[in-house]
């Protein structure tokens, strides 16, 4: 949860979610952590149910649980959304310093990656997708 979120609301939402999803089926225990700026709850769930059936958690199941937990958070007045990580703001990866230094020393004479392996001495120049023409050096 974002910093400043009320820990009791987070705990209440977690309790409601676990009660709805696991009560009378699986044993569970939870712990509220407030030692960091963002309060969060850890839930430990027994994989084998009271009826002896093993829990089979798939990616789709986790996403469904996240959506249900977010709904409980919204009921508690906490702004929450269950977006997959790939859709959340992710920092743009920086170009490695070694590559920047190499590019500063010499212009790119051969294509990067696997196209470089396709080049062999004596063959004609290779034209790649972005229509840049590379020559052999």
112-130 tens-digit pLDDT: 554 444 555 555 554 544 4
- Pick from 67, 62, 80: nearest CA to 5: 80
Could you give the angle at the alpha carbon of 11 between the alpha carbons of 9 and 15, nearest 5°? Answer: 115
Q: Is residue 45 classed as helix, strand or coil in its secondary structure?
A: strand
State both tokens at 112.
């990067």
23-34 tens-digit pLDDT: 888 899 999 998
71-87 tens-digit pLDDT: 998 888 888 877 776 66
* The model scores a pTM over 0.95: no
How many domains are contained in the chain? 2
**Residue 18 forms part of a structural domain:** yes
- Domain span at residue 113 reads 109-137
Q: Is residue 58 classed as helix, strand or coil in its secondary structure?
A: coil
Residues 11 and 59 in one domain: yes
Q: What are phi and psi of 36, to 5 degrees?
A: -120, 165
Asked if 70 and 82 count as a contact pair (C-beta separation under 8 A), the reply is: yes
**Residue 99 forms part of a structural domain:** no
**Residue 1 forms part of a structural domain:** no
**Residue 124 forms part of a structural domain:** yes
Euclidean distance between CA atoms 14 and 111, whole angstroms: 51
Residues 22 and 63 in one domain: yes
Residues 40 and 74 in one domain: yes
**Residue 92 forms part of a structural domain:** no
**Residue 131 forms part of a structural domain:** yes
């Amino acid at each position: 949860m974002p910093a400043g979120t009320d820990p009791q609301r987070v705990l209440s939402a977690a309790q409601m979610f676990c009660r709805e999803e696991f009560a009378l089926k699986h044993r569970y225990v939870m712990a509220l952590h407030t030692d960091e700026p963002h309060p969060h709850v850890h839930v430990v769930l027994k994989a084998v149910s009271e009826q002896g059936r093993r829990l089979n958690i798939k990616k789709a199941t986790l996403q469904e649980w996240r959506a249900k937990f977010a709904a409980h958070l919204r009921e508690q007045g906490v702004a929450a959304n269950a977006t997959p990580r790939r859709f959340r703001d992710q920092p743009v990866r920086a170009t490695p310093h070694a590559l920047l230094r190499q590019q500063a020393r010499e212009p790119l004479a051969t294509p990067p990656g696997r196209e470089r392996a396709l080049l062999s001495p004596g063959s004609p120049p290779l034209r790649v997708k972005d229509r840049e023409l590379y020559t052999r050096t």
